[in-house]
Structure 1
Amino acid sequence: MLRVPRNHLTTCYRAKSTRSASGDDYQYMQRTRIPMLHFQASLPRLPIPKLEKTCERYLAAQKPLLIDEAYRKTKDNVDRFMISDGPKLQKLLQQKDSKNKHTSYISEPWFDMYLRDRAPLPINYNPLLMMNHDTRPAYNDHLLRTTNLVVSSLRFMKSLRAQLLEPEVFHLNPAKSDTHTFRTVASLAPSLISTYVAYAFKAFPLDMSQYQGLFGATRIPETGKDRIYRNDKSKHLLVLRNGHMYSVDVLDEAGNIEQPQTLLARFKRVLDENRPPAENSLGVLTTENRDTWAKIRYHLSEIGNEKALRTIDSALFCLCLDNGTIDPEQPIPMIRDFLFGNGTNRWFDKSFSLIVSKDGTAGINFEHSWGDGVAVLRYFQEIYKETMKSPFVHPDSVPQDDSKSDDVVKLIEFKLDDRIRDGIIDAQNHHNSVIDSLDMNYLKYDGINKNICKKQKISPDSVMQLGFQLAFYKQHSKFVATYESCSTAAFRHGRTETMRPCTVATKEFCEAIERKKNPLSPTELRALMDKCSALHGQLTKEAAMGQGFDRHLFGLRHTAETNDIPPPCIFQDPAYAAINQNILSTSTLSSPALLAGCFGPVVQDGYGIGYNIQEGFLGSVVTSYKSHRDGQDFVNCLRSAYEDIAKVLNNSTPPSK
């Protein structure tokens, strides 16, 4: 999950009072005035920061984490790097970048890093976005919500492939730029300068290169390094029900979306079959170590399952029809099930899986190597909005399928042998042991919210991140490496940058508010909090503008490796390993469509924190491994931290601005 501004989406679609399921109005969700890729050619390239700036930022991030002696050693390593290997690696990185102006310096090595990792996808990589329920209870019917979400998904896909989606644009001031005038002026500007024309409106176009990875794609396991398979000709979905897999045609021979009542009938066929749980659920194999899965998959192909695997790989996306129901007061069991479940009704290798449960609870579980979530969030929000405002099927809709072919809904059958059956058992045992070791806890706190932060003139994100620092300090009396994901999609082929929320300022605040002797007044604590917020805002802006230090150092290290240069001293320093052992890994999304978002810890002794702050409350889903961290205690400390922060806000005066 990524830091993506809430108002980053634009849309030209407006809901109609009635919906027609004929002609182009049905086939396409949007018809943009500005060509979809109009800004792509003029997007700026991701900058390679100046070496001295990266070293300066790196040392600033290390300062709150290290004792004085360790910091002096790290600074000595950085100083030596600055005059020895650093300039040479910087020059090599710049030379390679200048020869690849179509992309960014981070794109290829970052993509390669994902595909080479052998860790299982669930928990380690695949994140979850869980969707809010439909506000109309009747529309949460399992079949009805599934059909509406699929229809809107296909309309989004068709608009994307026809390049009719409106370009992704972050509007700094929507009242001035999310307008007819902006669209007219931007569409008339030549593509090679259009991004700079948008800047004049304080509108910032975002890279859309990752969108091609959304539909018809699968990460295929291979020993050593996986590969991404894409197919833009397929017309079917992979549908999973009770561990059984189906191919369900959703486009006709001409590539048009089937009628809503036709899709209603086809999904009804799958639900009505109600087969007992599959005896051998192949989906659980996608939870395995990637090399292990690669070898089993190769054997699957060898014994005559090439066609079945090709059907899965080429599917537009994966639709998982589940049986659970959510308890609004205790949402964790359903969130766990959507994030990883028991693996039997999933195919984690697909670019994304749309999960719809019995009570209409819906979510997106997506494979992470092909993209960073910006495209997924756009898709997620668009289908939620359309199904809420203008669904195509209703409680009185009648299923009707005029197709004469039985193949439009077809069970995908596999030939199995003892090796495959044993592999399924092993995969299930491995997955069960991992998920049994994972703890998940949820905090919902209404003492702080967006409105309160706005009135107090303080950054909501800085408040939430300060809470994480204070909670860990309450729990362990120390500070640790902290990761906050920040999108660099404002640049061509941008990926992410790390924002480092643990700063000298947050350390000073945490130590001060926990100090028992000579406590500071609320006014003094508020001054420290404002200092945290200002620095947080600066670091966030730098990260979004490609001016963090993490990706640059990653690029320099990768450059050394690919040029057979011995690892420079900066990368052999234990402090470098420690700051990349992200004990607190955090990511936020803000969307009216979002019920919850979460992901697993990125290290064994870490916390994975998916969070957001709403109009009425703030919320966090916290994952951890039971044998390494006490997740419930951390959440208790987190509640205490926000209560302390709320007291400071309520008993002090906001700064004048």
Structure 2
Amino acid sequence: MPECDQYLFNEDDSSARHINILYKGRGWTMDILDNKGGIASPAQIENTLYRLIHDDAEAPDLPFAAPSVFPNEQAREIRAQLNSRSENAAIWQSIEKSLFILSLDDAHIIDDEDALNDAAFSDGSAFWAYKPLNYRCNLSDDRYFLHSESSWIDASSLADILALAQKNQHDGKIQRKNTLPDDLNLAPLDWQIDKHETKEQDSGTYKLIKEALAEYRHHAESYTTGIYDLYLNDQEQHLLKHNDPDALMQIALQYAQYKVHKTVRSSRENIDMRHYTNGRKCYMQTVTATSKAAATAIYSLADSSSILPLIEAYNEEHLMRKAHCLHGEDVYGHLLGLESIAREQKQDIPAFFTDPGYLTLTQNYISTISLGCHGILSYIAFTAGRAENIAINYTYNRNNINLVLTHPRNRTREIQKFATAVQAGIKQLLRILALSEPQDEV
């Protein structure tokens, strides 16, 4: 929940475990595990959800999940006002203790990009923002999304959770026998919020949520995502397998920066830390003198023989930096943690953290992550902190490179040029690497 750094689970003597369901602005609770670990059968779940989506109850004025999407201060105030009623306090406790959120949507969305936008930046009804796991199911298009709370777990660990679930399903390790009733104790959850007849009379909790929701929607609408694919021939696929693809991508991103903005700003790469038991966040700074020299040399159409040594040198730099991160020897996240602790405890933040040099190195224009190549997660949308920054997920598939860029909506045309430049940079890098390949004798 937004006001604490802990997670609440059911007591040992709880009779069952439940999930919460969101659909058309309403909320429900549904038992899914009995007290012996037996899970609801597919038939029970399907029949219960069928009844739910055919419930013709009118959608509420305020989406059930609205209290979750606000900044901390607003969220604390709204929660306090809601929980002053015992009925609302019971609902909040149900959400705290649920295993996860299942969000259902029956809108027909043809385009993958539009569907990702809808899932990532909804109107405040599609997920409970402070639950670690929200599963979003598009019923009409058979699409599935996972919305996670980023401070809880890293994305690579989420991929492992999904992989384990698939494996257990395939191996038949899920206990199907259960003592749950056929309707899985499905019950609606309705906030008790007083509403006045006219806008002029609106006050208190209803007005607070309504105004905060409008502000949230305005903020959510200011972001969008773009999906781009770069197709590779057999030779290009071979070259990627025998080089560090992450290093090549970072050079291409810096080339695109220089081509579009005539400068290269600090960027970071999210490192896959799934080998740590509980997962952890780790960011690696990716701009070095070598990578910048390679990017600008490609832009200047320098001779390939002068660029190739720079690519090879940056490959080594990138691998060495990544090795340090994988052993927990990164400094960047530690410094961010110290700054965050000082801010939360209302201590004076040392001048070091406002030094122009430090800010140049830590205020990243681009944040990247690559997890889709593990075959569990495909399109990943996330925000990169500051409003002007770009968040990029890239995936090396069998015959193409997929890019997902999350960015401010008002910069769409600029970002399209940037994405085109990234693709051109990758092609240039692969062309240079191809020239260094030994040629077959005739």
The TM tier, using the shorter chain, reads 0.7 to 0.9
Q: Distance in 2 between matches of 1:407 and 1:258?
A: 8
Find out whether 1:652 has 2:429 as its counterpart: no
What aligned pairs does 1:145-294 form with structure 2 within 5 A after superposition? Answer: 220-222=1-3, 227-231=6-10, 233=14, 234-294=16-76
Find out whether 1:631 has 2:415 as its counterpart: yes
Change in 2 beyond 3 A, CA 1:267/1:483: same
Q: Distance in 1 between matches of 2:321 and 2:438?
A: 22
Q: Distance in 1 between matches of 2:235 and 2:160?
A: 22
What letter matches 2:137 in structure 1? V
Q: Is the 1:242–1:276 Cα contact (8 Å) retained in structure 2?
A: no
Q: Is the 2:387–2:408 Cα contact (8 Å) retained in structure 1?
A: yes
Q: Distance in 2 between matches of 1:593 and 1:618?
A: 16
* Residue in structure 1 matched with residue 198 of structure 2 by the alignment: none
Over residues 212-234 of structure 1, what are the superposed CA-to-partner deviations in whole Å (9 max), with x where a residue is unaligned?
xxxxxxxx233xx5653333645
* Residue in structure 2 matched with residue 443 of structure 1 by the alignment: 228
Q: Distance in 2 between matches of 1:563 and 1:280?
A: 34
Find out whether 1:364 has 2:364 as its counterpart: no
Over residues 57-91 of structure 1, what are the superposed CA-to-partner deviations in whole Å (9 max), with x where a residue is unaligned?
xxxxxxxxxxxxxxxxxxxxxxxxxxxxxxxxxxx
Q: After TM superposition, give the deviation of residue 320 of structure 1 in Å.
A: 0.6
Normalising by the residue count of structure 1, what TM-score does the alignment of the two structures yield?
A: 0.59
Change in 2 beyond 3 A, CA 1:243/1:413: same
Find out whether 1:573 has 2:355 as its counterpart: yes
**Structure 2 residue aligned with 1:321, among 100, 104, 108?**
104
Task: Count how many residue pairs are aligned between Structure 1 and Structure 2.
Answer: 422
**Structure 1 residue aligned with 2:191, among 395, 405, 414?**
414
**Structure 1 residue aligned with 2:427, among 643, 647, 652?**
643
- What percent identity do the matched residue pairs reach? 21
Change in 2 beyond 3 A, CA 1:548/1:654: farther
Normalising by the residue count of structure 2, what TM-score does the alignment of the two structures yield?
A: 0.85
SS at match of 2:297: helix
SS at match of 2:378: strand
Q: Distance in 1 between matches of 2:206 and 2:247?
A: 50
Q: Is the 1:281–1:424 Cα contact (8 Å) retained in structure 2?
A: no
Q: After TM superposition, give the deviation of residue 333 of structure 1 in Å.
A: 0.9
Over residues 559-616 of structure 1, what are the superposed CA-to-partner deviations in whole Å (9 max), with x where a residue is unaligned?
9889999765643421112222111011110221222112012111110111211121
Q: Distance in 2 between matches of 1:619 and 1:291?
A: 38
Consecutive unaligned residues of structure 1, counting only runs of 5 or more, are 1-219, 393-400
Q: Is the 1:469–1:479 Cα contact (8 Å) retained in structure 2?
A: yes
SS at match of 1:637: helix
Find out whether 1:502 has 2:298 as its counterpart: no
Q: After TM superposition, give the deviation of residue 341 of structure 1 in Å.
A: 1.3
Change in 2 beyond 3 A, CA 1:502/1:290: same
Find out whether 1:464 has 2:249 as its counterpart: yes
Q: Distance in 2 between matches of 1:613 and 1:646?
A: 14
Q: Distance in 2 between matches of 1:292 and 1:562?
A: 16
Q: After TM superposition, give the deviation of residue 555 of structure 1 in Å.
A: 5.9
Find out whether 1:600 has 2:405 as its counterpart: no
Q: Distance in 1 between matches of 2:31 and 2:78?
A: 28
**Structure 2 residue aligned with 1:312, among 69, 75, 95?**
95
SS at match of 1:273: coil
SS at match of 1:251: strand
Q: After TM superposition, give the deviation of residue 641 of structure 1 in Å.
A: 1.9
Q: Distance in 2 between matches of 1:289 and 1:613?
A: 35
Cα RMSD of the aligned pairs, angstroms, is: 3.2
SS at match of 1:470: helix
Find out whether 1:332 has 2:116 as its counterpart: no
Change in 2 beyond 3 A, CA 1:565/1:249: closer
Comparing 486-495 with 532-541, which one deviates more in the overlay?
486-495
Quick one: higher RCO (CA 8 Å, sep 6+), 1 or 2?
A: 1
Q: Distance in 2 between matches of 1:611 and 1:628?
A: 20
Q: Distance in 2 between matches of 1:451 and 1:460?
A: 11
Q: Distance in 1 between matches of 2:181 and 2:270?
A: 50
Q: Distance in 1 between matches of 2:20 and 2:346?
A: 44
Over residues 521-555 of structure 1, what are the superposed CA-to-partner deviations in whole Å (9 max), with x where a residue is unaligned?
22332222122212111111111112223134446
Q: Distance in 2 between matches of 1:453 and 1:386?
A: 34
SS at match of 2:388: coil
Comparing 499-508 with 261-270, which one deviates more in the overlay?
261-270
